[in-house]
Amino acid sequence: MPGGFQAGAFAGGGLDGVLVDMQHGMIGYRDMVEMVQAVNAAGSYAIVRPPLDDFAMVSRALDVGAAGIVFPMINNAGDARQLVDAAKFPPVGGRSWGAYLGQAQLGLSKEEYLATANGLNAVFAMVETVAALDNLDEICAVEGVDGVFVGPNDLCISLTGGEAADVNHPLVQEALPKILSAAKQAGKFAGIYTASSGDVKKYAAMGFNLMPGLTDVAFIGQGVATIEGECGE
């Protein structure tokens, strides 16, 4: 949901980071700026998922202080290079200078930010299709891609030819070790969407590094159900 107040509340609640979802959420550019600032002010890390194919939003999110990018539907090395080009400064990418807000929030001079930004900002390429699985080694080999991030619902849709969107589908579960192995061999991080604390524990034990946990709506729903259960009718 859009809004800095709740984003800051989640960040201040002890989470390592908050993912601002511009792809499937109701969050626009101004909302994203407010939410990134609120998360940073709470001492946490803001990660932004831009809309599909909106590579311009990558640098805009980093400019205002996002610490990381999770970019949807990266299917091959060419897609990955486009992502890096928007996210990393030369010589790794082709990001344009304009990080005034991000620079100020970190308390860095222009020179300090330019010298460290490529290492400060984590860039994850989402693996969500059969094509991405087929090109996994090439995606992981692209310099500037810091990790891969599994979108299990879309991956299931792709693997089953549109017959299912089940994060626990056997075809999805069979693909996860391959994804983890490719990331590890390339020295990259691996993330995955999760929908419960049980999922977080399960995938952390498998070796995944980044797991969002729950959506804001799910957190609220669980909170309401807990209060209702404790208070009864």
Annotated catalytic sites, by residue? Answer: 24
Rama region for 215: left / alpha / beta (φ>0; ψ in -120 to 50; rest): beta
DSSP type of residue 50 = P
- Identify the H or E element spanning 60: helix 56-63
Phi, psi for 110 (deg, rounded to 5): -55, -45
Are 72 and 124 within 8 A, CB to CB? no
* Owner of token pair 């419960």: 196
* Owner of token pair 């995606």: 139
Phi, psi for 217 (deg, rounded to 5): -60, -40
Are 39 and 11 within 8 A, CB to CB? yes
Residue 227 to residue 218: CA distance in whole angstroms:
14
Phi, psi for 19 (deg, rounded to 5): -95, 120
